[in-house]
Amino acid sequence: MEELLNKKNEEENLEIPVGPARLVILQPTSFCNIDCSYCYVPDRQVKGVMPLELVEKLCDRLIDEDLLSSRCSVVWHAGEPLTAGKKYLNEAFDIVHRKIGEKTKVQLTIQTNGTLIDSQWIQIFKEHKVRVGVSLDGPKWLHDKHRKDRSSKGSFEATVHGLKQLIDAGVDTYVLAVVTQSTLDWAQEFYEFFHALGVKDLGLIPEEVDGINLTSSLEGENVLQSFDDFLKHLHACYVQYQRKPEIREFRGVRESIFYSKPITAASNYKTRAYNLLTIDKNGGYTTFSPELAGMHTARGEDYVFGNIRTDAIRESVKTRKFQDFYRAFYAGVQLCEKQCQWFSMCGGGLPSNKLAETGRLDVAETMSCRLHVQAFAKTSLHYYNSIIPNVQVMTEPERTA
């Protein structure tokens, strides 16, 4: 870190560490068939998909620029990817397997609202070994509060129907649930709902100020206390039901306490450009936070650093635009390291949250940190300290999603 700092002071071009790309997020369409109240994706009513030649081009670039990691997770996310259609995604999956499947261990994943799933989709997922994440916020009264279609009809029944088909067919499935203020009074019902459905893995997303979503029901100090209480109650259920389902965030803290090495500047993948690579439907690419693909500065500039058709990924970090972005981003990570007791678990970063909440990158703690990182760590530590004295969070686990 010090070396980079010195270069920053000298105003030289920074030598920015690049890749390998461990998490590639493709945004095949911005269109969504429903209209959730807290969605961060712009242009959700605009139809149109990423041309398949761009998927080919992306794979070629990853190979030609030696950016493939030994394991690469390729995720279709943003908008509702299934609206791109079966023929389209079948071909897209084929391209990825054909082009890079023999060069790296590829995990294909799709994040969906689940409403369009039928037996043909299940066949496609099984054939291509696709992991499927379904967005479901809990029981009907919680889910339908925010996840409605454009005629204000809740999507709960269709989503649960889709999820059940996936589970019954043995597709590798997980659930992502957005936690809003409404969820906080219902920890037990929330957990037992997913347990009864047979969900194995559950990721929690505290409602964030991110992308074009400029407010959150979880803002404010009073809510933070309620959120902590919710997590304590949820963790008790998690223990009672023997981690069925597993909760991604609690697993992350557990792994950082018991299984991982301490994070260092050199091992902090969050400061490596294009470790996380996001490509929008027009081929524009960005890094660090997928939400940056749809965000703009106050002056209307975007955070897209090149186009997969025409611009070498490794070269893009040398441009003035990327260098300026990275200086501010890196200053934020350094502040994180100086100021935050959770840095060894988190590694800093979260630029889209920092931007959406403060309009700046060179800052440290955000509401998203307090909810999505620190509250989970505190709850887990509280539990482990009650059974093993003096447990400390020391490190961050090696994971990409």
Smaller CB distance to ligand SF4: residue 317 or 350?
Answer: 350
Rounded to a whole number of angstroms, the minimum distance from the CB of residue 342 to ligand SF4 is 5
Q: Is residue 336 involved in binding ligand SF4 (CB under 6 A)?
A: yes
Instruction: Give one DSSP letter per residue of 327-372, joined into a string.
Output: HHHHHHHHHHHHH-TTHHHH-S--HHHHHHHHS-SS----HHIIII
Smaller CB distance to ligand SF4: residue 279 or 371?
Answer: 371
Q: Is residue 348 involved in binding ligand SF4 (CB under 6 A)?
A: yes
Smaller CB distance to ligand SF4: residue 340 or 394?
Answer: 340
Smaller CB distance to ligand SF4: residue 100 or 346?
Answer: 346
Rounded to a whole number of angstroms, the minimum distance from the CB of residue 369 to ligand SF4 is 3
The whole-angstrom separation of Cα 270 and Cα 318 is 18
Smaller CB distance to ligand SF4: residue 39 or 350?
Answer: 350
Both structure tokens of 328: 């501010």
Report the residue from 14, 350, 367, 375 that binds ligand SF4 according to the rule CB under 6 A: 350
Q: Is residue 253 involved in binding ligand SF4 (CB under 6 A)?
A: no
Rounded to a whole number of angstroms, the minimum distance from the CB of residue 371 to ligand SF4 is 10
Burial of 264 (0-12, 13-18, 19+ CB in 10 A): exposed
Q: E strand or H helix at 276, and its extent? A: strand 276-279
Smaller CB distance to ligand SF4: residue 234 or 369?
Answer: 369
Rounded to a whole number of angstroms, the minimum distance from the CB of residue 346 to ligand SF4 is 3
Rounded to a whole number of angstroms, the minimum distance from the CB of residue 362 to ligand SF4 is 12
Report the residue from 121, 125, 342, 384 that binds ligand SF4 according to the rule CB under 6 A: 342
From first CA to last CA, the distance across the chain in angstroms is 25
Q: How many residues form the binding site for ligand SF4 (CB under 6 A)?
A: 13
Q: Which stretch binds ligand SF4 (CB under 6 A): 122-130, 173-181, 185-193, 338-346?
A: 338-346
Is residue 44 helix, strand or coil? Answer: coil
C-alpha gyration radius of the chain? 21
Rounded to a whole number of angstroms, the minimum distance from the CB of residue 119 to ligand SF4 is 42
**Helices and strands per DSSP (H, E), number in the chain:** 15, 10
Rounded to a whole number of angstroms, the minimum distance from the CB of residue 244 to ligand SF4 is 28
Q: Which stretch binds ligand SF4 (CB under 6 A): 82-90, 245-253, 322-330, 336-344?
A: 336-344
The whole-angstrom separation of Cα 122 and Cα 90 is 12
Phi and psi torsions of 178, nearest 5° = -85, 130
Both structure tokens of 289: 């936070």
Interface positions, 356-385, toward ligand SF4 (CB under 6 A): 364-365, 369, 373-374
The whole-angstrom separation of Cα 276 and Cα 292 is 12
The whole-angstrom separation of Cα 320 and Cα 359 is 20
Report the residue from 55, 89, 263, 346 that binds ligand SF4 according to the rule CB under 6 A: 346
The whole-angstrom separation of Cα 314 and Cα 110 is 26
The whole-angstrom separation of Cα 102 and Cα 106 is 9
Q: Which stretch binds ligand SF4 (CB under 6 A): 44-52, 69-77, 197-205, 340-348?
A: 340-348
Q: Which stretch binds ligand SF4 (CB under 6 A): 31-39, 246-254, 257-265, 346-354?
A: 346-354
Smaller CB distance to ligand SF4: residue 256 or 374?
Answer: 374
Both structure tokens of 242: 């023997």
* Residue 88 near residue 109 (C-beta atoms within 8 A): no
Q: Is residue 343 involved in binding ligand SF4 (CB under 6 A)?
A: yes
Both structure tokens of 34: 């429903």
Burial of 70 (0-12, 13-18, 19+ CB in 10 A): exposed
Residues that bind ligand SF4 (CB under 6 A): 336, 340, 342-343, 346, 348-350, 364-365, 369, 373-374
